[in-house]
Amino acid sequence: MDVEAAKAIGAGLAAIALIGAGIGIGQVFAAFVTSIARNPAAEAQMRPVALLGFALAEATGLFGLVMGFIIFYVF
């Protein structure tokens, strides 16, 4: 197989990381919404925790992007 084509396929496969990031972000905010519904008074305390969880989950998807860049520009 052509190396350029293999690189493009590899970079595309690296985008699979977004599945995990999507599930993670969805779960973080699902739990956030549920907990607000249960106890609306505690929203202010839960917001920073939810945002921290969102940022950590989002970062795992971006590791996939970094893999894509490495595949394209390092090899």
The site for other proteins (CB under 8 A) is made up of 48, 51-52, 54-56, 58-59, 62-63, 65-66, 69
Nearest to other proteins of 40, 48 (CB atom): 48
Both tokens of 14, joined, read 């690296």
Minimum distance of other proteins from residue 66's CB (angstroms): 5
Nearest to other proteins of 18, 36 (CB atom): 18
Q: How many CB atoms lie within 10 A of CB 3?
A: 8
